[in-house]
Amino acid sequence: MAYGMFLAAMGRANEALDQTKRALERDPVSPATISGVGYVLQMALDITRRKRDTARPSTWTPTSATDAGALAAC
């Protein structure tokens, strides 16, 4: 399970999900395995979202002074 978590942290979602599936097959009731599965799934979703969001140009434009200030602070 630790290797799957490592792969997820490195951005290798597909490999991490494969490792997670193997870990669940070996020990489906272990709290550590179940917790690790949640981590890997969360990381895989985040990786997918980041890839999706960076594949298209941003359409966000500041519409208020607060938004513009937050953008300027970056």
Is 3 buried (19+), middle (13-18) or exposed (0-12) by CB count in 10 A?
middle
Q: What pLDDT is recorded for position 41?
A: 86
- Report pLDDT for 66: 55
Contact assessment for residue 1 and residue 20, using Cβ atoms and an 8 Å cutoff: yes
Residue ranges in the chain modelled with pLDDT below 70: 50-74
* pLDDT the model gives residue 61: 58
pLDDT in tens, 5-23: 888 888 888 898 899 899 9
Query: Which pLDDT does position 1 carry in this prediction?
Result: 78
pTM confidence score:
0.58
